[in-house]
């Protein structure tokens, strides 16, 4: 018991919690932790203290940080799924069952109702929107011009009818 107390007081626990214990010390400590409740309790306390010390220095990250993390994780997921496709092209390839097979497709329902597209598409959408407005402008212009011309034509017709000798 005295030896265990000495061990706890030696500073090895602090070194472990702060990540500076050697491999041998770590192995020994983890072994003793399972054997002695005192070691386990002391370690848990130190872990909480370490967290409290960090809490004293905490700074709230900028609001956009999480979305940056999320984007990077999605990027990793995308690249790892591409790797899967490259490395194991045949494992999941659908083999049509000739006996059963009317359908050539497997129905898969996506878990998300959203879809992701390349950022380039926003310029395409913007161009389509602007072109749409331009064509609408032309359509209105030609419609009004056409209407004006029709009115003029009608006036000319009536003038011609009036001038024509009876």
Q: Can you tell me the distance from the alpha carbon of 34 to that of 21, in angstroms, rounded to the nearest whole number?
A: 18
Measure Cα distances from 52 to 17, 56, 62, 67, 164 in Å.
13, 6, 22, 27, 105
CB of residue 33 vs other proteins: minimum separation in angstroms?
A: 13
Position 60 contacts other proteins (CB under 8 A): yes
- In the complex with other proteins, the residue whose CB is nearer, 36 or 46, is 46
Position 69 contacts other proteins (CB under 8 A): yes
Structure tokens given for 106:
């497997």
CB of residue 126 vs other proteins: minimum separation in angstroms?
A: 29
Q: Can you tell me the distance from the alpha carbon of 76 to that of 82, in angstroms, rounded to the nearest whole number?
A: 10
Give the contact letters, 145-164, x = binds to other proteins (CB under 8 A), - = no. Answer: --------------------
Position 54 contacts other proteins (CB under 8 A): yes
Q: Which of residues 88-127 bind other proteins (CB under 8 A)?
A: 92, 106, 108-112
Position 2 contacts other proteins (CB under 8 A): no
Measure Cα distances from 131 to 20, 68, 117, 140, 141 in Å.
64, 33, 21, 14, 15
Which range of residues in 18-26, 124-132, 136-144, 152-160 is near other proteins by CB under 8 A? Answer: 18-26
Q: Which of residues 123-142 bind other proteins (CB under 8 A)?
A: none
Q: What is the DSSP letter of 102?
A: S
- Give me the helices (H) in 36-120, please: 37-56, 65-87
In angstroms, the first-to-last Cα distance of the chain is: 135
Residues contributing to the site for other proteins (CB under 8 A): 9-12, 14-15, 17-22, 46-47, 49-62, 65-66, 68-70, 72-74, 76-77, 80-81, 84, 92, 106, 108-112
């Amino acid at each position: 018991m005295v030896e265990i107390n000495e061990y706890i007081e030696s500073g090895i626990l602090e070194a472990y919690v702060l990540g500076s214990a050697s491999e041998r010390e770590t192995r020994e400590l983890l072994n003793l932790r399972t054997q002695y409740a005192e070691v386990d309790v002391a370690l848990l306390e130190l872990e909480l203290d370490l967290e409290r010390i960090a809490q004293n220095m905490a700074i709230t990250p900028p609001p956009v940080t999480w979305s940056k993390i999320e984007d990077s994780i999605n990027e990793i997921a995308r690249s790892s799924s591409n790797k899967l496709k490259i490395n194991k092209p045949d494992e999941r390839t659908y083999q049509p069952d000739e006996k059963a097979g009317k359908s050539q497709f497997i129905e898969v329902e996506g878990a998300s109702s959203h879809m992701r597209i390349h950022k380039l598409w926003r310029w395409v959408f913007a161009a389509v929107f602007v072109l749409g407005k331009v064509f609408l402008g032309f359509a209105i212009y030609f419609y009004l011009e056409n209407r004006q011309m029709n009115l003029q034509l009608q006036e000319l017709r009536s003038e011609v009818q009036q001038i024509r000798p009876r």
